[in-house]
Structure 1
Amino acid sequence: MRLRSPHSAGVQPVEDRSAALDLTGPDWARLTDVTGKDQVFARDLVAQEGWAALAGELGDEQAYAFAARTALMWLRPDAFAAGTAGEVLAATVGAGFRPLAAQPVRLERCAVRALWAYMCRWATAERLILMDAIAELGPGLLVLWADGTGGPVSSRMTAVKGRNDPARRRQGTLRDVAGSPNRALTMLHTTDDPADVVRELAVLCSWPERTGLITEAATRLRDGHSADLDHALRDIERDLPPLGLPVPEAGAPAPSVHELHTGPVDKRWAALVGASESWPLLRRTPGPAAWPEQETRSPWQ
């Protein structure tokens, strides 16, 4: 039995609540090619919740198709503070992607940990503090994209996004357009595969927000129309006005944790930029891996 949202047309109340709230999830191997990732996501409560919402709105087969035909981007608060968010969105459209739905999203500390739960095995404590401080700047913009190629859209967007290390990043990628200066201020986050689309919808959105985005995006997938991002962009910029990317002063002491979390937003942003350039971001020995591929992926290589 599928769980349908309360606003789904013509749907009667579900009598068997135990069946309606079953979070067993999909065949994750249909949503990821990464060895072992399917087994990890099958035990991930957030991933199961994302699937319950997606399949509840669309049905199982359409949920699989939706996850493959969309990519999720969270244009982060640091892109808005740097004043390059609009350029990143324009460059994404220029790369052949079509916006389907958008929602301002403000993350709190627990959501930050959930979003990067599997990718922070090399992160220092200092980097976690930076991630929290970035989220505290203000909202970012969640956008669902299509590209019309028929293949997994997330895979192509990952290539277009660019590396988080500027020294290894190609010119013209989205992070290059954003002016991302280092591994901490990467400006945007995107899903790597359809499994991530399912899970991160649940990380980034409440259930009502999630079902609304799914319905809106699925409609635009069918009719070929594009979402208007200008209104959402202006709303966020009113809350977090562009500040530019300050240049840390040579010889200045490293900012304290206190400076990142207190005071007006321009002061916190300046401290955050300084800390991102001076604080250690990578551990020499990693934490536990979630799936085998992560055992061989090292930022030091």
Structure 2
Amino acid sequence: MTLALDAPLSADTDKLRRYVEEDLYFSESFEQLSALVEDPVAFAHQHAILLCKPDAVIGRRLQPCLQWLAANDFRIVAARCGRPDRHLARALWTQPWRHASRERRILADLLCGLADALVLVLTPGTDTVAATAALTAAKGPADPRARTPGQLRETLGDFGYLLNLVHTPDDSADLIRELAIYFDELTRTHVITEALTGRDRSAEAEALIGELYDRTPARSLHFDDAADALEHWARQRIKQADNGFADAVRVAWDAAGNDRSARLAAVLRLAYQHDETPDPWDSIVVGSAVLPMVRTASARGVGVS
């Protein structure tokens, strides 16, 4: 089936043209959908995807996700879990990633290695707009300051710009593309076939959550907990090591004075430069709060990333 460039998959016609003509993820997924369903455009319109990221697993926010979905009339029709990696992150966020700071890229790559993610395919209770557009609007933006009460991210909690816990495709074209990013061809066949039945698979999602929690230690998402642990680690390293790292931290902390954010940022930057290894989770939670997440002229080439 050939996709018309005016198909109702995205309001961004330039993006849709780029996907149709150039994007291998989109073309691979659309070709498979065309072989499995009568109307792949309708399938993309009727379904949404929610990615529950590793931070949602580690921070134990998966059950609240399911509760929110049920309360907002989204049915789970397929569920899978798997380990994300740096390539998946770059495939998902090709354009936004161009603006990410080096720090953000390193922290995001670190997060990918700490836990699996949960991918849910959903259908909404109403069909007034594209399902993925409805879910994206109800999810809320990455910036905590722009969220409103009742949105999924607002319900799950504010843990900064990087630790935003969940992701959704922006529109139906992105949903088609992301099916090929998350799943290989055989898995996609099973996921699409399951989704077509419309059967509620929340019990299967609950079982996957139990497996994820069993193999993933719980950690605090709160800044103060991670900051206290990172400062303790730095002080211990200063006592134990008479090396360039310890000397540099002493100098940086003297310069920072009582500015805790500056002190913590210095620890992370210097740890990276000196090949030290603070706890990855503490580094992510603290780093996402004290290091720049967006590239600026002053941030390029600087930092832990």
State if a TM-score over 0.5 links the two structures.
yes
Aligned to 2:135: 157
In the alignment, residue 90 of structure 1 is paired with which amino acid?
A: Q
Aligned residues: 254
1:235 aligns with 2:246: no
State how 1:201-220 maps to structure 2 within 5 Å.
201-220=179-198
CA distance 1:28–1:82, change in 2 (3 Å):
farther
CA shift at 1:262, angstroms? 8.9
Equivalence for 1:53: 32
Does the CA-based 8 Å contact 1:180-1:187 persist in structure 2? no
Contact kept, 8 Å, 1:84 with 1:179, in 2: the verdict is no
Q: CA deviation at 1:140?
A: 0.6
| 3-state SS in 1 of match to 2:16 | helix
User: Distance in 1 between the 2:208 and 2:32 partners?
Assistant: 24
Which residue is 2:88 aligned to? Answer: 111
Is the Cα contact below 8 Å between 1:81 and 1:269 reproduced in 2? no
Question: In the alignment, which of 282, 295, 299 is matched to residue 270 of structure 1?
Answer: 282
Listed as ranges, the matches of 1:1-301 within 5 Å are 26-30=3-7, 31-42=9-20, 43-59=22-38, 61=39, 63-150=40-127, 151-220=129-198, 224-228=199-203, 229-246=205-222, 247=224, 248-249=227-228, 250-251=260-261, 252-254=263-265, 255-256=268-269, 258=272, 267-284=279-296
For the 8 Å contact 2:5–2:13, the answer to whether it is kept is no
| Distance in structure 2 (CA, Å) of the matches to 1:114 and 1:243 | 27
Higher helix share: 2
CA–CA separation in structure 2 for the residues paired with 1:189 and 1:83:
16
- Partners of 1:72 and 1:262 in 2: CA distance: 38
TM-aligned CA distance change 1:119 to 1:29, over 3 Å: farther
The alpha-carbon deviation at position 58 of structure 1 amounts to 1.5
**How far is 1:156 from its partner?**
0.8
Note the C-alpha offset of 1:28.
4.7
- How far off its partner does 1:96 sit? 1.2
Judging changes above 3 Å, is the alpha-carbon distance between structure 1 residues 143 and 262 closer, same or farther for their aligned structure 2 residues?
Answer: farther
TM-score, normalised on structure 2?
0.77
Deviates more, 1:116-125 or 1:192-201: 116-125
Q: Is the 8 A contact 1:105 1:205 kept in 2?
A: no
Shift of 1:258: 4.9
Q: Distance in 1 between matches of 2:37 and 2:151?
A: 33
Shift of 1:241: 2.9
For 1:239, the aligned partner's letter is R
- Residue identity over aligned pairs, in percent, reads 29
* Structure showing greater Rg: 2
**Post-superposition shift, 1:182?**
1.4
Gaps of 5+ in 1: 3-24, 286-301
Deviates further, 237-246 or 147-156? 237-246
Per mean C-alpha deviation after superposition, the further-off stretch among 34-43 and 64-73 is 34-43
**3-state SS of the aligned residue for 2:98?**
coil
Deviation at 1:263, TM superposition (A): 6.9
* Structure 2 stretches lacking a partner, 5+ long: 229-259, 298-305
Across the aligned residues of Structure 1 and Structure 2, the Cα RMSD in angstroms comes to 2.2
TM-score under structure 1 normalisation? Answer: 0.78
Shift of 1:242: 2.3
Greater shift, 144-153 or 193-202, is seen at: 144-153
- Is this contact kept in 1: 2:103–2:293, CA < 8 A? yes
